[in-house]
Chains A and B, each alone.
Chain A
Amino acid sequence: MLRAYTIAFLIFLYAPILLLPVFAFNDGTVIAFPLDGFTTKWFEELWTNAELHAALVNSLLVACASSVLAVLLGIAAARANIRYKFPGKTAAMGLIMLPLVLPEIIVAVSLLVVAIRILGLDLSLWTVVAAHVLICTPFAVAILNASFQSLDASLEEAAIDLGFTRGETFRLITLPLIMPGIVAALLISFTISLDEFIIAFFLTGSDPTLPVYIWSLLRFPRLIPVVMALGTILMVVSISILILAEWNRRRGLRRAGVADKGGFL
């Protein structure tokens, strides 16, 4: 019974996603069965669409910038969280992790108000980056918390004891040992930013990110198969990045000779 339920659950969860590649290769503009035959022309159309390319470049820029910033902030926050005791720590960590559970639409609207009304900023990719840092940082902190947790504090002390400054110790000992966590945090933040729609939709100016651009395509029924093709590519890329992140994490554990305590995923 439980088995049947599990299978039904998984089908319900993933079958719609499997429809993406099916219709991406379907030779017809109507998204319905029966299929009309095999084609790769939707992918070819992607190849020649300049607006799409601009949107892709925008998304990659935003994703790179926000993942790097989120991970830098994440390293500082996770280290402070694991290594030090200070007043207000629980509150500070709670606030950092809060965007995980806040509805994105709320975040998006409030950031829009702040950006335009209070700060008087022009909407641009940078406002999107700032917002994406906000939602990626909790993920980075969660992963890096685990990295610092499994890092014996006396390793850093040993390096200082052997004559190194705190900075040198961070570079020579801490950084190499938490590197798998950093890479995993970068990859996951990158994926989150790349996929994110609501916040980007509200905060983007005249340069749409890829999800925003895809949304704009949906107004033209003729282009829906193109969206399917693009969706297929994004799905493959996203899954690949997540697999890479997990593989990298496990490799890091093996190298450090630490037992696997269950990853972030």
Chain B
Amino acid sequence: MTEPLIRLKGIHKYYGDYHALRGIDLDIRAGEFFSLLGPSGCGKTTLLRTIAGFEDVSKGTVVIGGQDMTALPPNKRPTNMVFQSYAIFPHLTVAQNVGFGLRKAKGTSEEKAKRVAEALQMVGLAGYGDRAAHALSGGQRQRVALARALVLRPKVLLLDEPLSALDKKMREQMQVELIRLQRQVGITFILVTHDQEEALVMSDRIAVMFEGDVAQIAEAETLYRRPVSRRVAEFIGTMNFLPATVGGDEVVVAGLGRMPVSSLQNTATTEGESVAGFRPETATLLFPGQEATDRIAEGTVTEVVYYGDMTYYDVRLTGAADPVRISMRNVFGRPVLEIGAQARLSWSPGAVTLFR
């Protein structure tokens, strides 16, 4: 096991009485695309700024590249940051912005100009060097900010909600470009985002944070399929929750019936009241003539939301109070079920998680 590039040990941060970071332990590997994901106020940006050196830690250590950097200011750390507002210097041109950090680097002005041109090329802004910075669009500013940080070849690039100011289409385009860029330069990227889809699409690993603490660190697929808590499950994608009662080796889930506890995925088994959850796409509505592949639950369709390629059905299962949501890919020639129709649901216990 190689040494991680960044090792955060027992990071605490207090603002007066407010406990913003509550003992964070985190290892980030070299070359990884790592995301800090969580709702606003969970401390993800504070944690990022701790790595950059903009926030002093109240307790704990920040080790980057095997070196304790807890006490170093941002200008002495091998990290560079893309700010949420992009922080493009308005009085400088694009090339002067990108070359700003190079002013302190060694090398002739020709070499530096070449590096600036390469960086601009990399982010798709070749030939924009002489433009005034304030005349750029949002997407272009973002690219300049990226080029300005990458031109210094940092060990770590920190991105603070870099896509939140862009419109949906631009955001999706930049997601793909950031992934491409990260593979190309091989630098460790740490992304802060509140957008779970963004984190799932872009990251090698994701740390989900709530209230100053890390709830789960995992790859996208694990996070989605095996959330460690109901809270993580709710935050990542959609999950249907049904009340469950555990008694001995068996569990009764409202609407799904009785089954052995061991047939479900479970985070921890405790006697008594619990909750079971499954993702909308793990169950299937059976249309006339279709046979169940696993177990069957019955209910009534209470809502139909048609998306063209998909239809979302809300189904109230017999014995459950709240409807569950089922997403179905539409098949050409097959009619969409209507509200009030009887529904048969094919589901498998392996896709159901029992939460503490």
Cβ contact within 8 Å between A161 and B134: no
Closest to B145 in A: A158
Interface segment among A9-17, A38-46, A109-117, A149-157: the answer is A149-157
In the bound complex, residues from chain A placing their C-beta under 8 Å from that of B132 are 257
In the bound complex, CA of A152 to CA of B91 (Å): 13
Interface segment among A24-32, A162-170, A216-224: the answer is A162-170
Asked whether B240 is an interface residue with its Cβ less than 8 Å from the other chain, the reply is: no
Q: What per-residue 1/0 map shows which CB atoms of B81-92 lie under 8 Å from chain A?
A: 101110101110
Minimum Cβ distance to chain B for residue A243 (Å): 24
In the bound complex, residues from chain A placing their C-beta under 8 Å from that of B79 are 161
Asked whether A242 is an interface residue with its Cβ less than 8 Å from the other chain, the reply is: no
In the bound complex, residues from chain B placing their C-beta under 8 Å from that of A256 are 90-91, 134
Minimum Cβ distance to chain A for residue B106 (Å): 12
Cβ contact within 8 Å between B83 and A160: no
Asked whether A176 is an interface residue with its Cβ less than 8 Å from the other chain, the reply is: yes
Minimum Cβ distance to chain A for residue B311 (Å): 44
Q: In A183-200, which residues have CB < 8 Å from any B CB?
A: none
Cβ contact within 8 Å between B134 and A163: no
In the bound complex, CA of A255 to CA of B84 (Å): 22
Q: What per-residue 1/0 map shows which CB atoms of B30-72 lie under 8 Å from chain A?
A: 0000000000000000000000101000000000000000000
Assuming the contacts A164-B75, A256-B134, asked whether A158 and B90 have C-beta atoms less than 8 A apart, the reply is: no
Minimum Cβ distance to chain A for residue B30 (Å): 20
In the bound complex, CA of A155 to CA of B81 (Å): 11
Closest to A157 in B: B54
Minimum Cβ distance to chain A for residue B103 (Å): 8
Cβ contact within 8 Å between B91 and A161: no
In the bound complex, residues from chain B placing their C-beta under 8 Å from that of A177 are 90-91
Asked whether A159 is an interface residue with its Cβ less than 8 Å from the other chain, the reply is: yes
In the bound complex, residues from chain B placing their C-beta under 8 Å from that of A159 are 89, 100
In the bound complex, residues from chain B placing their C-beta under 8 Å from that of A80 are none
Assuming the contacts A163-B152, A164-B75, A165-B75, asked whether A158 and B87 have C-beta atoms less than 8 A apart, the reply is: yes
Most buried by A among B81, B90, B134, B148: B90
Interface size on A, as a range, is 10 to 19
Assuming the contacts A164-B104, A255-B91, asked whether A152 and B85 have C-beta atoms less than 8 A apart, the reply is: yes
Asked whether B73 is an interface residue with its Cβ less than 8 Å from the other chain, the reply is: yes
In the bound complex, residues from chain B placing their C-beta under 8 Å from that of A176 are 91
In the bound complex, CA of A20 to CA of B54 (Å): 59
Q: In B75-129, which residues have CB < 8 Å from any A CB?
A: 75, 79-81, 83-85, 87, 89-91, 100-101, 104
Cβ contact within 8 Å between A155 and B87: yes
In the bound complex, residues from chain A placing their C-beta under 8 Å from that of B87 are 152, 154-155, 157-158
Cβ contact within 8 Å between A161 and B81: yes
Minimum Cβ distance to chain B for residue A253 (Å): 10
Asked whether B74 is an interface residue with its Cβ less than 8 Å from the other chain, the reply is: yes
In the bound complex, residues from chain A placing their C-beta under 8 Å from that of B75 are 160-165
Asked whether B135 is an interface residue with its Cβ less than 8 Å from the other chain, the reply is: yes
In the bound complex, residues from chain A placing their C-beta under 8 Å from that of B74 are 157, 160-161
Asked whether A173 is an interface residue with its Cβ less than 8 Å from the other chain, the reply is: yes
Q: What per-residue 1/0 map shows which CB atoms of A219-262 lie under 8 Å from chain B?
A: 00000000000000000000000000000000000011110000
Cβ contact within 8 Å between B152 and A158: no
Cβ contact within 8 Å between A257 and B100: no
In the bound complex, residues from chain B placing their C-beta under 8 Å from that of A257 are 90, 132, 134-135
In the bound complex, residues from chain B placing their C-beta under 8 Å from that of A161 are 52, 54, 74-75, 79-81, 149
Q: What per-residue 1/0 map shows which CB atoms of B131-161 lie under 8 Å from chain A?
A: 0101100000000000011001000000000
Minimum Cβ distance to chain A for residue B140 (Å): 13
Minimum Cβ distance to chain B for residue A67 (Å): 24
In the bound complex, CA of A177 to CA of B100 (Å): 15
Most buried by A among B52, B79, B84, B87: B87
In the bound complex, residues from chain B placing their C-beta under 8 Å from that of A155 are 87, 89-90
In the bound complex, residues from chain A placing their C-beta under 8 Å from that of B90 are 155, 177, 255-258
Q: Which 9 A-B pairs have the closest CB atoms?
A: A257-B134, A162-B101, A158-B87, A154-B87, A154-B83, A256-B90, A161-B81, A163-B75, A161-B74
Other A-B contacts than A155-B89, A155-B90, A163-B101, 9 sampled, CB-CB below 8 A, are: A157-B83, A158-B148, A159-B89, A159-B100, A160-B75, A161-B75, A161-B149, A163-B104, A256-B91
Which residues of B approach A to under 8 Å, CB–CB?
Answer: 52, 54, 73-75, 79-81, 83-85, 87, 89-91, 100-101, 104, 132, 134-135, 148-149, 152
Which residues of A approach B to under 8 Å, CB–CB?
Answer: 152, 154-155, 157-165, 173, 176-177, 255-258
Sampled A-B contacts (21; CB under 8 Å): A154-B87, A155-B87, A157-B54, A157-B83, A157-B87, A158-B89, A160-B75, A161-B52, A161-B74, A161-B79, A161-B81, A162-B100, A162-B101, A162-B152, A163-B75, A164-B75, A176-B91, A177-B90, A177-B91, A256-B91, A258-B90
